[in-house]
A and B are shown apart, each in its own frame.
Chain A
Amino acid sequence: MDRTERLARARELVDALERGDDGAAEGLLHSLHDARSTRLLKSVGELTREVHAAFGGVVSDARLYELSRHAMPDARERLAYVVEKSEEAAHRTLGAVETLAPIAEKLLRGAPDDPRALAEFAGEARLAGERLKLGLTEILMAQEYQDLTGQVIRRTIDIVSQVEQKLVSLLVAERDEPPADGPCAARAEGPQGPAIRAAADVLSRQHDVDDLLAELGL
């Protein structure tokens, strides 16, 4: 619906209202609203196609595809993958730590004085060294998840930014005025999770938390 057409409908609407023809006025209001909705739906359709294409782009990334084996069709699934991979790596690392700790404790008890026991201890110490080395390698290798999850998160952030930009342009088109500067204020209530960037009211260092608690008498 172009400008002239909208203006014409608006005039008809005023006429209908002045005549007291509520039925006609209602119909005209609906047709104006429908025209607006159609424009919005068209924009949403375009956005959906672009988001879909963006997701497709990530899935076709050869390395990620090979590593994850399964195409991950949306951001939620990708983030679930991040949770899974990082949990797996943490357990792998903790498993190695739990295996290594008793070996270290044994070594810490030190060498016995008795010569025969000492020879035995030396053999055990060598074995312990080998097992420690293996365990450390295991811990080292477990960190590989970061490479995978880091990439997935980065791509997800890109996709979210693209969606955000499209939504903003959609809003601008609808409002016919530029959006206000600055991030959306609305701070959610309840737990926020880790602070991913510094903010005035966030005390991310234990030292600052301790100072505040001391002020509060704790």
Chain B
Amino acid sequence: MKILIVDDFSTMRRIIKNLLHDLGYDNSHEADDGTTALPLLKNGSFDFLITDWNMPGMQGIDLLRAVRSDPKLKSLPVLLVTAEARRDQIVMAAEAGVNGYIVKPFTAQTLREKIDRIFERIAAQTA
């Protein structure tokens, strides 16, 4: 499974990359904000997007909206991993079509659970 990790902090990208490795996902790529992520997504046949919200340039919520409005990308599963935790923000992300939402700081177990859940749901929907 080809995964794109989008976060402006390289340390966080590294942490997520390592956690994904532990979960058995070794094909992960990185981008530092929505502006750099979007062209990669459009050209890269990614299966999964994990993105931060608060980034310089294009923010995670706008990246999510861009993905949902792109005919080729609209069904790409998106997981937000962010320190943004206001109720209205979570509602906003849900309305924009996010598949999962993790608040930082998070644990490896939370990441595993959310990823599993997202793919279970997708499998159930397409079955």
Chain A residues with CB under 8 Å of chain B are 87, 90-91, 94, 97-98, 101, 190-195, 201-206, 209, 212-213, 216-218
The smallest beta-carbon distance between B56 and chain A, in angstroms, is 11
Residues of A within 8 A of B59 (CB): 190-191
The CA of A209 and the CA of B110, in the complex, are separated in Å by: 12
User: Which label, helix, strand, loop or mixed, suits the secondary structure of the B interface?
Assistant: mixed
Q: Which of B15, B22, B94 contacts A218 (CB 8 A)?
A: B94
Contacts A91-B11, A201-B88, A209-B85; A194 near B104 (Cβ below 8 A): yes
| CB-based contact B54/A203 at 8 Å | no
Contacts A195-B83, A205-B103; A87 near B54 (Cβ below 8 A): no
Contacts A206-B103, A216-B94, A218-B98; A192 near B110 (Cβ below 8 A): no
Q: Which of B54, B87, B106 contacts A201 (CB 8 A)?
A: B87
The smallest beta-carbon distance between B68 and chain A, in angstroms, is 14
The CA of A138 and the CA of B83, in the complex, are separated in Å by: 28
The chain B residue with its CB closest to the CB of A216 is: B94
| CB-based contact A206/B102 at 8 Å | yes
Residues of B within 8 A of A97 (CB): 18
The chain A residue with its CB closest to the CB of B106 is: A206
The CA of A20 and the CA of B56, in the complex, are separated in Å by: 56
The smallest beta-carbon distance between B124 and chain A, in angstroms, is 14
B76 within 8 Å of A by Cβ?
no
| CB-based contact B86/A192 at 8 Å | yes
Contacts A212-B91, A216-B94; A202 near B18 (Cβ below 8 A): no
The CA of A217 and the CA of B94, in the complex, are separated in Å by: 9
The chain B residue with its CB closest to the CB of A98 is: B18
The smallest beta-carbon distance between A93 and chain B, in angstroms, is 9
Contacts A87-B11, A213-B94; A218 near B99 (Cβ below 8 A): yes
